């Protein structure tokens, strides 16, 4: 698979990564462990070298899964994990508040190293901006972890321009991970230009619109009771019906390219900038194969312009998060 560089610190990864969250958390019951291990190891066999997890996925179970699955070839892959949340109370499995105090960041790093069965975290993201802790203190704590050899690179997630600039001045930011896809293009306005200016890589999560852009979800689709999408305004039956126009467009383009809607959605992201690395997740091997195939779908500049022009005329219905969760994004 093609390789791409994130940031200016020499971090090289596969052009497509694997978001591992859904194997343990968020989209219904956790995947059978052996099946989950198989998905991760097959991804490596197909050329993926960039794997994304976090302590809150599970919680903790996803890091343990990723650590076990990648152990046989740990030195050949890049593992990203995240800090910044705290349980509602000791022993709680609900994570409703932030904690990016420097001492907590260091505690999380040590615990993640153990769960990931490794001696260094390749990319350590602040999961969400904590308005109670100056971002300079957060960047300083990660800088100390880098100096101690426990972390290689610093990342931010869902951070805004001001936060990015302030953090980068203390410790260079290697990558920003935020939602970005054909149905959520807000980063194009100001975040992507700042990443380009500062030499920061961009890692889109939910690049397939939480599965909607695959074309396999419509207004009649039902989700497991534990599936996060049940509370997402963009996934009400009415919104799904209205948003089919975007999927129809992708399907039309896919037919011309001998591809699938999902592959066109991923190829569009890859065509935006050479420092963008999407991390689609899946629990199914055939979906993994489909996603990997997107790397070989070539969209010309004219193709991209046509897609942009067409999508600009489509209004996406429904917010991407419930209101309380949307407030967690940083400035």
The 10s digit of each residue's pLDDT in 174-228 is 999 999 999 999 999 999 999 999 999 999 999 999 999 999 999 999 999 999 9
Beta strand extents in the chain (DSSP E only): 3-6, 11-14, 18-19, 50-52, 78-83, 85-86, 97-98, 121-126, 151-157, 173-179, 201-205
pLDDT in tens, 221-245: 999 999 999 999 999 999 999 999 9
CATH number of 3-211+272-297: 3.20.20.100
Radius of gyration of the chain (CA): 19
Instruction: Judge whether 325 and 153 are in contact, CB under 8 Å.
Output: no
Residue 328: predicted pLDDT:
58
First to last CA, the chain: 35
Give how far Cα 301 sits from Cα of 23, 155, 272, 275, Å.
Answer: 35, 30, 9, 17
> Among this protein's residues, is 27 annotated catalytic?
no
Residue 331: predicted pLDDT:
73
Neighbour count for residue 64 (Cβ, 10 Å):
17
Dihedral sign for Cα atoms in the order 26, 30, 31, 33:
positive
Q: Where are the domains of the chain?
A: 3-211+272-297
Which of 27, 57, 125, 180 is catalytic? The answer is 57
Which token pair is 174? 């290697």
Cα atoms in the Cβ-side hemisphere of radius 13 Å centred on 193: 6
Residue 66: predicted pLDDT:
98
Dihedral sign for Cα atoms in the order 127, 122, 26, 238:
positive
Residue 216: predicted pLDDT:
96
Dihedral sign for Cα atoms in the order 326, 313, 253, 3:
negative
Cα–Cα nearest to 314, from 232, 212, 177: 212
What is the chain's pLDDT, residue by residue, as a tens digit (331 residues)? Answer: 999 999 999 999 999 999 999 999 999 999 999 999 999 999 999 999 999 999 999 899 999 999 999 999 999 999 999 999 987 665 555 677 899 999 999 999 999 999 999 999 999 999 999 999 999 999 999 999 999 999 999 999 999 999 999 999 999 999 999 999 999 999 999 999 999 999 999 999 999 999 999 999 999 999 999 999 999 999 999 999 999 999 999 999 999 999 999 999 999 999 999 999 999 999 999 999 999 999 999 999 999 999 999 999 999 999 999 988 875 556 7
Instruction: Judge whether 168 and 176 are in contact, CB under 8 Å.
Output: no
Instruction: Judge whether 154 and 137 are in contact, CB under 8 Å.
Output: no
Cα–Cα nearest to 78, from 40, 48, 35, 37: 48
Residue 94: predicted pLDDT:
64
Cα–Cα nearest to 98, from 129, 55, 56: 129
Task: Name the helix (H) or strand (E) containing 265.
Answer: helix 261-272
Cα–Cα nearest to 124, from 82, 166, 172: 82
φ/ψ of residue 262, rounded to 5: -60, -40
φ/ψ of residue 184, rounded to 5: -150, 95
φ/ψ of residue 58, rounded to 5: 135, -65
pTM of the entire predicted model = 0.97
Residue 224: predicted pLDDT:
96
Residue 31 DSSP code: P
Largest CA distance in the chain: 54
Residue 97: predicted pLDDT:
87
φ/ψ of residue 315, rounded to 5: -95, 120
Dihedral sign for Cα atoms in the order 25, 27, 29, 32:
negative
Cα–Cα nearest to 188, from 262, 264, 301, 276: 276
Residue 286: predicted pLDDT:
98
């Amino acid at each position: 698979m093609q390789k791409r560089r994130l940031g200016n610190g020499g971090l090289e990864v596969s052009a497509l990564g694997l978001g591992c969250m859904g194997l343990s958390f968020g989209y219904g019951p956790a995947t059978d462990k052996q099946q989950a291990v198989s998905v991760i190891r097959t991804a490596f066999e197909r050329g993926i070298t960039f794997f994304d997890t976090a302590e809150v996925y599970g919680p903790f179970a996803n890091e343990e899964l990723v650590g076990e699955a990648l152990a046989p070839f740990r030195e050949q892959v890049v593992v990203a994990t995240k800090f910044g949340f705290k349980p509602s109370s000791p022993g709680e499995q609900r994570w409703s508040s932030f904690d990016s105090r420097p001492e907590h960041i260091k505690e999380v790093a040590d615990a993640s190293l153990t769960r990931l069965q490794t001696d260094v975290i390749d990319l350590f993201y602040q999961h969400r901006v904590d308005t109670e802790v100056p971002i300079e203190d957060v960047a300083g704590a990660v800088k100390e972890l880098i100096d101690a050899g426990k972390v290689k690179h610093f990342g931010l997630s869902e951070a805004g321009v001001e936060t990015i600039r302030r953090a980068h001045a203390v410790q260079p930011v290697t990558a920003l991970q935020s939602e970005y896809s054909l149905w959520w293009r807000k980063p194009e306005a100001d975040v992507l230009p700042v990443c380009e200016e500062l030499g920061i890589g961009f890692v889109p999560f939910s690049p397939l619109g939480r599965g909607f852009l695959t074309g396999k979800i419509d207004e009649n689709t039902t989700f497991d009771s534990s599936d996060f999408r049940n509370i997402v305004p963009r996934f009400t039956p009415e919104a799904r019906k209205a948003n089919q126009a975007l999927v129809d467009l992708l399907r039309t383009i896919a037919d011309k390219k001998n591809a699938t809607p999902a592959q066109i959605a991923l190829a569009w992201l890859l065509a935006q900038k050479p420092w963008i690395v999407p991390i689609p997740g899946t629990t199914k091997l055939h979906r993994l194969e489909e996603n990997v195939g997107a790397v070989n779908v070539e969209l010309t500049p004219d193709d991209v312009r046509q897609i942009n022009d067409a999508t600009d005329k489509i209004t996406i219905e429904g917010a991407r998060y419930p209101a309380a969760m949307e407030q967690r994004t940083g400035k």
